Structure 1
Amino acid sequence: MAEAHAQRLDALRINRSVHPRRKLARRWPLWAGLGVLLLLAVAAGTMGRAPSVRVAEVREARPGEQQTELTAAGYVSSRRHSVIAAQVAGRLVEVAVDEGDAVKKGQVLARLDDRDARVVAARAQAELLAAQQQLIAARATATRARSDLGRAELLAKADVITRANLEEAQALAHASTAEEQAASAQFVAAQRAAEAAALQLSHTVVRAPFSGTVVRKLADEGAVLAPAALEQENIGGIVELVDLGALEVEAEVSEEQLPRIELGQPALVFLDAYPDQAFRATVRSVRPAIDRSKATADVNVAFEEIPPGVLPDMGSRVAFLKEELPQDALEKKDAALRVPAAAVVQNGGQSVVWVVQDGRVKRQPVQVARKVGDEVALAQGPEPGTQVVVAPEGNLRPGRKVKVRTEEG
């Protein structure tokens, strides 16, 4: 009985003679299997993730591309464009125009509360009238004193009056003349004060400095306006006025391309709002300053005829031409399509592009006609508007799902 009990106790004892490393060695296949499974899961996730690709659209050639020296992006602007503000502080009591209204030079745009200005002007006029009366009285006194002096000098020569009487007459004449001069100076000062008060009163009426169109209304009746400030733009603005008859395109040209631009050089303007139309223009001026941050200069291009419907800040592209474009060349397009040069790659000795359709890519052969700047002209390829991958990576496969981002990001 005791022997059986001892055997059971021996069975419960832990055998410490077995080394722990041998146990770990027996378990390494389990850890290795788990590692392989983890690697397979990561690889599967990576394989299934849609890569991000940059795309651009196939486009038709624009008129005059054969004669184009260079192109630049820009915006429509006006040579006469101003935010109209009052020259004095005050409360706005009337805005006489609305957005879209055409106004003439000198037309009333707005009125400020003029009660204080009228009081000041009335007081200045009263002071002017008082100064005028004082001048009249001083002139009369001075005239009489000079006449008395003349008689005193004659009487003194005849020894009718004493020397003291003559000196008294002379002193009175000199004093009267000084009073006349002082009254005259006070009258001139009162005149200038009245003119200043009248000018301040006139500033409560805001008029158009040039003929144009109201494109924005910046304040309404009841607003308290600060006077126009030189340090800060648009402080106290009431309306924004633009001369739509002086529209042009302000394009940004890189400084290394500036030598290719000349005053009077012919150009074509393509507006984003009217992509199928080309408008003739000429280089009007080149701003003599470089933007350090962008290394560009502004080139102003004037329309030969301002097209209807064009508005300030419309996006555009300007094609600077090598020579004047004939009218028939302006009306017809180069049949070739255009894609970024980086979109065309070689595959098995054939030029192809990767077309994105329904979120997946497919390979399409193209026939390259020639290289044009950073683009290539295609004699045969996808239809205009088709999205193609720019600078495709080698991991693309037909039918693979992709995430699209445009040229703008």
Structure 2
Amino acid sequence: MDHISTELNKLRIDQSKRGDMKPQNRSKARWLAAALVAVVAGVLGGFALWSGSKPIVVQTVRPRLESAANEGAVLVATGYVVAHHKIQVGSKIMGRVAWIGVEKGDLVRKDQVVVRLEDREYRAQYEQAAAAYESAQARLTELERGSRPEEIERARAEVQRAEAQVRTDEANLKRIENLVKEGVSPAQALDDARGRHDASRAALQSALKTYELIRQGARSEQIDAARSEATRAKAAADYAKTILDSVEIRAPISGTILERNVEQGEMVTTSFVGDRGAKSFVVTLADLKDIQVELDINQNDFNRIHPNQPCSVVTDAYPDRPYKCQVYEIAPEANRQKATVQVKVKILEPDQYVKPEMNARVTFLSVESKETESKTSEKLFLLPRNAMVDRDGGKAVYVVVDGVVQIKPVTVAREMGSDAAVSAGLSGGESVIIGDIRSQLKAGDRVEAQRP
């Protein structure tokens, strides 16, 4: 303890020597102290000016336009925009892609060719089947038309020749019989004459039957068999032509290409084989004029919804573009695990700003609100309730205008769940500040708006 006191005494200033300092030295010390204070003040002031010039980053939201006719809103729910019918266009045959005529986002017409496969094998099969059909048809035509006149004349000539031969052999047989009776010719000569006569008569009968067959033409059974063969050959040719036409894969409806699934040179098959290897479909197509919003409605709120109920929808991407819609489909069963019922609403007049898989907010209306919709033109803007602050006995919002904070008083018409409908004080294009940062802001502060 005594040691510490000794050291402190060494640091004590001797007041008796203070008066020995000359006046000019004291003046010089004052100027040095003043200069040091000025430098420190300048540094602190510059730092304050630099830190004050840097804007504060804040999160903002934009008001969503809502019609005043939605005063009859009974429920607000969020969901996703989906195409009513999403079609995966496949192939009826297996083959290699030779040409692709579309890209993602392209508009196509019904029956427009989108993909073409290689066709050499299928074209050869069709030509073979077509030749077989022509052959069968020619055979049928031949049988139906019967024998040609030249063939009939030739058969008649054969009959006449056989008759002449019979007459000759008959006369010769009579002459030999007389000679044998007279003993001039041997009995053997008579046997030979009789044999020739019998043979010529048999040849005559054969020629007569042949002539009759040629004159009458083919039998009905032969014609029927040939007709059946021609029909079978035609069916085979038609099938081969259908397979050949299938190398051109066409759009089944008019719509928009959502996905292109193949590239030139890849294989396409008629069955699913996985992500690698041959593909089971070539493009995904949908009619974006027929789109819906798919929602999962809590079972406790399900009693507020009924078929064909009017509603309005806005997307998160374009909150200032509302669309009319109505309840189109209610699932026949609930989801027990999520305690929800799936509901789909149809957007009545969609445009190019509504795209599948967008987030959307649907406001379900009462029937009375639909009847009064045409009687009002007042606009309401929806904001999150936590975007409002209490100020001077009312509500106000912090907005960003040209990078500067402004405080605007607003009039709240009603509250719907986590949202509030503002009827006055907003024009719809403001960037409204949200979050706890507002407690640190005042009008005139420089800020940098950032959408959440």
The TM-score with structure 2 as length reference comes to: 0.52
Secondary structure class of the residue paired with 1:64? helix
CA contact (8 A) 1:109 1:206 kept: yes
Task: Give the aligned partner of residue 115 of structure 1.
Answer: 120
Residue equivalent to 2:385: 341
Distance in 1, Cα, partners of 2:97 & 2:377: 55
C-alpha distance in structure 1 between counterparts of 2:389 and 2:50, whole Å? 25
Residue deviations 1:199-252 (CA, integer Å, cap 9, x gap): 7656434344x433353583799433332553657935434332456x131233
1:224 to 254, 260, 266: 266
2:107 and 2:254 in contact (8 A); partners too: no
Partner of 2:440: 395
Q: How large is the Cα RMSD of the aligned pairs?
A: 5.0
**SS in structure 1 of the partner of residue 386 of structure 2:** helix
Aligned to 1:186: none
CA distance in 2, matches of 1:378, 1:224: 56
Q: Map 1:43-54 to 2 at 5 A.
A: 48=52, 50-54=55-59
Q: State the shift of 1:66 in Å.
A: 0.7
Q: Bigger radius of gyration, 1 or 2?
A: 2
CA contact (8 A) 2:255 2:287 kept: yes
Q: 2 CA distance for matches of 1:306 and 1:60? A: 17
Contact 1:70/1:321 (CA < 8 Å) preserved in 2?
A: yes
- Change in 2 beyond 3 A, CA 1:314/1:397: same
1:385 offset after TM fit, Å?
1.9
Q: CA deviation at 1:301?
A: 1.3
Any idea what the Cα deviations from partners look like across 1:50-96, whole Å, max 9, x if unmatched? 54433223454325321112233445433322131324442333557
Q: What is the Cα deviation at residue 290 of structure 1?
A: 5.3
- Of residues 53, 71, 85, the one that matches 2:76 is 71
Measured in 2, the distance between the counterparts of 1:322 and 1:222 equals 53
Aligned to 1:302: 346
The residue identity in structure 1 corresponding to 2:445 is: R
Distance 2:354 2:60 in 1: 30
* AA aligned opposite 1:253: D
Q: CA–CA distance in 2 between the matches of 1:362 and 1:312?
A: 35
For residues 162-208 of structure 1, what are the alpha-carbon distances to aligned partners after superposition, in whole Å with 9 as ceiling and x for unaligned? xxxxxxxxxxxxxxxxxxxxxxxxxxxx99xx79x947656434344
* 1:92 maps onto 2:97 in alignment: yes
Identity of aligned residues (%): 24
Equivalent-residue separation in structure 2 for 1:97 and 1:366 (angstroms): 51
Cα deviation, residue 324, structure 1: 5.4
1:285 counterpart residue number: 330
Judged with a 3 Å threshold, the aligned counterparts in structure 2 of structure 1 residues 249 and 357 are, in CA distance, closer, same or farther, namely same
Gaps in structure 2 of 5+ consecutive residues: 12-40, 133-231
Q: Matches of 1:52 and 1:291 in 2, distance apart?
A: 44
Evaluate the alpha carbon distance shift between residue 235 and residue 377 of structure 1 in structure 2; reply closer, same or farther with a 3 A threshold: same
Q: Counterpart of 2:307?
A: 263
Structure 1 residue 103: deviation in Å? 0.8
Structure 1 length-normalised TM: 0.56
Q: 2-side partners of 1:355 and 1:311: how far apart?
A: 28
Give distance in 2, aligned partners of 1:343 and 1:218.
43
Q: 1:231 to 1:258 in 2, by over 3 A?
A: farther
Q: CA deviation at 1:379?
A: 5.0
Inter-partner Cα distance in structure 2 for 1:274 and 1:76: 14
Stretch of structure 1 that moved more, 47-56 or 339-348:
47-56
Give the equivalent residue in structure 2 for 1:250. Answer: 293
SS at match of 2:67: coil
How far did 1:386 drift?
A: 1.9
Query: Which residue in the other structure is 1:80 paired with?
Result: 85
